[in-house]
Each structure stands twice: as C-alpha cells, then as structure tokens.
Structure 1
C-alpha cells in the first residue's frame, strides 16, 4: 500500500493517461477498498460489542477526564478529515497534487486510517446508562442495531457503492473511459428519506441493550457530526443541482421516513 501510494505521488499529471499509471491506480483502488472493507466490518463489531477483540466498552481504562478528552480528539480528527476533504473547494485544490482518478480512493484510505486509529486508541467509559436484562429484548435491540448497518450498506448500493468508495473511478480509468457527469436521482429509499445512510448509522449507534457512558459519548458526538455533515453536504448539493435539489428537500424528510420535510 505505501509503495503504491508513493508511486502515485511521483507520477506527473501528464502521465496519468499512461497504461502503467492506470494499472497502479487500479491496484491502489482495490487495496484501499480492501482496507475500507476491513475497517467497516471492524466498526460493526466495535459498536455492537460482537466478535472483535477491542470494542467501544473494552480496553485499558483511563481517568475519566483523560478518557473523554482522548475520545473527543479522536472523533474530532475523523470529523475534520471526513468533512474538510469532502468539500468541493478542498477537492479542487487537492487534485492539483493527487491524480483525479485516485482522489476518492485516497480520501477513503485516510478516512479508514483515522477510524482504525480511533478503534485502537479509544478509551472506554464503563459507567452504565442503561442495561436491558430481559434476554429477548436485548437480542431484539442487537438485531435492530445490525439492521441499521444493513440499511447503511443497502443505501450505498442503491446509489453507487463502488463509486462512493473509489473503486468505480479507478476501474473506468483503467478501461480508458470518462466518468459520467453527476446526475441527480432518488432511487428507492431515497424517495422516502434524503439520507438513509446517516439514518442507518444513527440506528446502529443508539439502539443497544447496554449503553455505557463511552457508548453514549460516541453516539451523541457522531449524531451531532452527522447533522453538521448533512448541512454541509446539502449546501454542496444545492450548489450543484440548484432548484432540483431544493424541491427534493421540500418533498422528502431529512432522516425520518415518510415525515414531510419542514
């Protein structure tokens, strides 16, 4: 991965159409997608407390103030990377140095690395907020949380999963094709809620049989980040699609399906 990244950085813009660059870019995109896949699968276990060795509620305990500060810094790092690098102005500047075909893959790689850092360095806050003792209800809540993750993945595939995570871009570049211009569309779930991916994350983070102080901090901060992220994203979408997106906002609710948009 590091060698591929170094090779991509050493290629001048005029070389991006060469066969060698196309192959390197494709391999880089595939490697990044694999890193992302491992990261998102670990994220499911991290939040739900299933399978993975270190979860949101396990690990070496620290003094409460230290744990809160470290956890907030980790989430802030991810939020800044995820939001700033997604803005059109940053992309316009960044693609002067990072070849356009691998821009999305590089964004996904850095987002994955910041998440892996969060999983590694996260400090648990084990104080209980609630704990469901009824085993049937506990299993039901875990199932609903996992369904939130299903909603996340389903929503990405409804639009274009591989484009969202950079694999589509390197594949069409390898084939010598041009990316199609962005087109506004609202398939399936997007007819009922504007941001089903974010809705899935909120369900996955909040629905749990055991809510600790650390889990509450994670769910609360990430939900706040989601709301801020939606505002920034929709500002960009209005700038890109104009009245078409404004009318969509009036017709369709932001996060609650079938609720009329305010």
Structure 2
C-alpha cells in the first residue's frame, strides 16, 4: 500500500473523531448551561436575567428565538435535509454536526434572551419549594437516563465517529423499550417538560419559555414518530397503540 494513502486512511477517521469529540463537549457545556439557565443556578445569565426591554418586545424577541431553534432542530432531523448535508460533510459526521448546530442555536438563545420579570406564581411554603425543586432535578435526571437507556453516545454522534475510526461496520438500528420506554415513547421529552415547568417562582418570561418549548416538544415528537414508523414499521405502530407518546396512559387502548 502507498504510505501516503495509508496515512490518509488513518488521518481522516481520526480527524472526524476529534471533530465529534469537540461537538460533544460543546453539546455537554450547552446542556449544563440549559439546566442553569432554566433553574437559575451557577450560570452568569439565567432565564430571568438580561437587558430590560418592554415586555411586548421581549416576548417578540424570545418567541423568534424559540422559533429559530425549532426550525433548525426539526429541519435538520428530516431525511431530505440529511441527504443534502451528505454532499457537504461525511455521513459519519452528520449527527455530530446536527448536535453542534443545535448547541450553537441554543447558545444564541441564552445570549439574546430578554427577561419578562412579572411574577405568575411564587411558592412560599418550604415543603412546596423543596418539592418543585426536586421535580426540576428529577426532570433532568430523566432526560439524561433516557439517553443512556437507548444509546447516549450514538444519539450525540460520538459512537459513529469511534466506529469509523476503528473501521467497525455500523449495525442496523434495534427496536427496544427499556425502563421509562415502557411508560412513554419519548421519556426524554417528558423529562424536559417536568424540568421546564417545575419552578417555585414562575415569571412571565419563564412561562413563555415553558409554553414555547412544550409546543415544540409535542410537534417535534410527531415528526420523529414518522421517521420511527418508517424505520421499524408495524412493530412501532403497535408500540404507538400500547404506550403514550409523552404522557403515560392511565390504561391501554382496546385493540
């Protein structure tokens, strides 16, 4: 084998692996910042911080930021967009690039978000505050666990790059429903909903964020369901009939 060709065969997969690691670290930083942003902990700018503007302008800016995130996050997950991206980047880096751009758009949201400080509710009782704070953290635990129950590193693009670097063939997707997935089809989205709404002090700005992201989560789940039906066919349709999409069903439907 030509030495230069052999070197290239080793260098390119390593470069994509390093790219995916960087994308993952950016995602991880953004994810941790999102926790602090919504919970008001350990970050320089939270959902209730930032330059003060009149509330109609703040609502407009914040609404546009959430629409921007929703469009980017949904469009890049569609098969037609993925096919178009394949002409620009290697397939092994497609998921990492999606994760990177989603993280950057979230970063822009954090940066440009405008507070609307009017209080919608504020809980004074210590036990109720503790309960809501506990639910907030429980929501994030559910989100994180849900990613590991399927394939955390594949979801965020690292596994694809590692397999490519090791020259390991990609395996076909496996349909599985571990733990939370017996209760809801999208436990990660349920975790986000709990985290976004569980707060002892709900401001108008936080309420707008919770409402906007909740609408997006339900819409995004619908789009995702189409891809899953296409991938797993009748098996996923049976799963849809038996298990709630984001909220658990109190009882199963009669077939």
Normalising by the smaller structure, the TM-score range is over 0.9
User: Which of 219, 235, 240 is the matching residue for 1:228?
Assistant: 219
Which position in structure 2 is the counterpart of 1:102? Answer: 93
Which position in structure 2 is the counterpart of 1:138? Answer: 129
1:92 aligns with 2:52: no
Which position in structure 2 is the counterpart of 1:53? Answer: 44
Whether contact under 8 Å (1:148, 1:203) holds in the other structure is: yes
Whether contact under 8 Å (1:57, 1:212) holds in the other structure is: yes
- CA deviation vs aligned residue, 1:198-234 (integer Å, no higher than 9, x gap): 0000000011100010000000010000111111110
Unaligned runs of 5+ in 2: none
1:198 aligns with 2:162: no
- Tell me the distance in 2 between the aligned counterparts of 1:80 and 1:58: 25
1:177 aligns with 2:191: no
Which position in structure 1 is the counterpart of 2:205? Answer: 214
1:129 aligns with 2:101: no
- Tell me the distance in 1 between the aligned counterparts of 2:247 and 2:143: 15
Unaligned runs of 5+ in 1: 1-13
Which position in structure 2 is the counterpart of 1:82? Answer: 73
> What TM-score, normalized by structure 2, do the two folds share?
0.94
Question: 1:261 Cα deviation (Å)?
Answer: 5.6
Whether contact under 8 Å (1:169, 1:179) holds in the other structure is: yes
Which position in structure 2 is the counterpart of 1:189? Answer: 180
- Tell me the distance in 2 between the aligned counterparts of 1:258 and 1:231: 17
- Tell me the distance in 1 between the aligned counterparts of 2:231 and 2:83: 14
> What TM-score, normalized by structure 1, do the two folds share?
0.91
Which position in structure 1 is the counterpart of 2:56? Answer: 65
Between stretches 137-146 and 161-170, larger displacement belongs to 137-146
- Tell me the distance in 2 between the aligned counterparts of 1:50 and 1:34: 20
Question: 1:69 Cα deviation (Å)?
Answer: 1.0
Query: RMSD across aligned C-alpha pairs, in angstroms?
Result: 1.5
User: Which of 152, 166, 187 is the matching residue for 2:157?
Assistant: 166
Question: 1:60 Cα deviation (Å)?
Answer: 1.2
Question: For 1:172, what is the secondary structure of its paired residue?
Answer: helix
- CA deviation vs aligned residue, 1:117-165 (integer Å, no higher than 9, x gap): 1011100000110000112321221111111000000000000000000
Which position in structure 2 is the counterpart of 1:249? Answer: 240
Between stretches 202-211 and 232-241, larger displacement belongs to 232-241
- CA deviation vs aligned residue, 1:105-127 (integer Å, no higher than 9, x gap): 00000000000110111000001
Whether contact under 8 Å (1:141, 1:208) holds in the other structure is: yes
